[in-house]
Amino acid sequence: MSPALRKAGGQRPRLVAVSNRVVHPRGAARGGGLAVALLDALRERGGLWFGWSGQISDQPDSRPAVAEAGPIRLATLDLSQAEHDAYYNGFANRCLWPLFHLRLDLAAFDPQHYDGYMRVNRRLAGALWPLLQDEDQVWIHDYHLLPFAEALREQRARQQIGFFLHIPFPVPEMLTALPHYRELMRSLFSYDLLGFQTEDDVQRFRDCAVREFGAQLRGDSVTAFGRRLVAKAFPIGIDAREFAQLATSPAARLEFQRVRDPRPGRTVIVGVDRLDYTKGIPERFQAMERLLERYPDTHGQVELLQIAPTSRGEVPEYMAIREQLERIAGHINGLYAQLDWAPIRYINRPLGRRQLAGIYRASRIGLVTPLRDGMNLVAKEYVAAQDPADPGVLVLSRFAGAAQQMRAALIVSPYDATAVADALQTARYMPLEERRNRHAELMQGLLRNDAGAWRESFLDALQRCSAPGEESPAS
């Protein structure tokens, strides 16, 4: 919180964080960046974290189970199988996720999924409401919970409520393909603050609000449906200092030694992603094939180590990519492998954060080429894990939110296999001084915009919003 606000506001209000999945502090490292960032904020000011327990039960309790973890209270609800199928697997992951990532071809529009999504949002909001205190700041996370504030306002909640969208906001043409886009857009106007990953996302939201709903814009505020909210970019960061330390831990060093090939000219390129069609992994394999075609000096020398654990395995579209990847990797290895070398090593399971940090540090090139991504934290982790004296090179998709901040990376279009292959070859031969300069610039950005800065700038902005966001006739 800025000093001015702290002075003016005195005590910090209690933070109530709401996300699809609540992670116990003991398992936070596995819960990823969001869990860690939220827990830090909750620890600092005390607070409540509310959401799904991760458990499915036949007859879920209507009242949340409450557990205390130091100054943090965790309140969770189970979901029934039918709720989970419609809300999570259905509307969130088979409709909103593909649509917001520009994969209209994969979006399933099923009215029952939508009804289930709305019902679960209302049920969760109804269960949270009795736990809220008047002065709470409420922070809702991500596409699973778009209508959550509206459901809370229906319970007469007057608290300041902010929302952060971790994934991209789509262009209006895409959003309006969604049968329920009007209801969903209207529900967003129950928030006081909407946070997006990039300025482009903010712009797309504003365009949509103006074009479809005649919204009025003034500075950062957007008024429609008789309500005013503030829409701003808050690019999410990682705890770069901590990740850099992790990369020199004993477990990371062990992994480093397993991966780094000391023979001159040998290059490991690393890719780390959830197995998801937005991550551009087949296209990345094809770029690897193009590299081998165009630059014969890579044969026997360059290896792509792709780590991609299965995710959302119950969703049919995710089963298909796994097969596709195995096919392409088999084809490329069949064409180029030698007795003691194969160009692609593909590992289909999750690794610990220390192991990952060591692998990043051992890899000369980090290849992060999503077709579309809200931010992409792997790009940031790769940079944070490097040895500043002898750093690797980041090759980054222009369609990752991170590309708007990480200009010192080699920026590519993931659809252009030749351009990606050329960038890989440039990275292989990049002089030490250039590598150091690029790394120093990237690292400065990571330290400036870390997870703490992200969280505090969002909560500061929420504090500055007047609650609730009704448009007064005078303004």
SS3 state of residue 23:
coil
User: Looking at beta carbons only, is 34 or 393 nearer to ligand ADP?
Assistant: 34
Catalytic residue selected from 24, 84, 144, 166? 166
Which residues partner with 338 through β-bridges? 341
User: Looking at beta carbons only, is 47 or 168 nearer to ligand ADP?
Assistant: 168
SS3 state of residue 305:
strand
Crossing angle of helices 353-362/250-259, nearest 10°? 40
Catalytic residue selected from 373, 422, 439, 450? 373
User: Tokens 């790009």 map to which residue?
Assistant: 379
Query: Is the N-terminal amide bond of 343 cis, ω within 30° of 0?
Result: no
User: Looking at beta carbons only, is 267 or 306 nearer to ligand ADP?
Assistant: 306
Closest CA to 163 of 458, 397, 446, 395: 458
Say how far residue 374 (Cα) sits from the centre of its chain.
Answer: 6
Which positions touch ligand ADP (CB under 6 A)? 32-33, 272-274, 307, 309, 350-351, 356, 375-378, 381
Closest CA to 152 of 114, 183, 187, 117: 187
Cβ atoms 6, 465 nearer than 8 A: no
In DSSP notation, 323-377 reads: HHHHHHHHHHHHHH-BTTB-SEEEE-S---HHHHHHHHHH-SEEEE--SSBS--H
Say how far residue 174 (Cα) sits from the centre of its chain.
Answer: 20
Q: Closest distance between ligand ADP and the C-beta of residue 380, in Å? A: 8
Q: Closest distance between ligand ADP and the C-beta of residue 427, in Å? A: 20
Q: Closest distance between ligand ADP and the C-beta of residue 245, in Å? A: 15
Active site residue 166: yes
User: Looking at beta carbons only, is 25 or 350 nearer to ligand ADP?
Assistant: 350
Distance, in Å, from the CA atom of 322 to the CA atom of 316, rounded to the nearest integer, reads 11
Cβ atoms 259, 268 nearer than 8 A: yes
User: Looking at beta carbons only, is 120 or 357 nearer to ligand ADP?
Assistant: 357
User: Looking at beta carbons only, is 381 or 450 nearer to ligand ADP?
Assistant: 381
- Burial (CB count <10 Å: 0-12, 13-18, 19+), residue 338: exposed
Question: What HEC string does 128-140 produce?
Answer: HHHHCCCCCEEEE
Residues 6+ apart with CB under 8 A from 430: 393
User: Looking at beta carbons only, is 300 or 350 nearer to ligand ADP?
Assistant: 350
Active-site residues, by number, are 166, 373
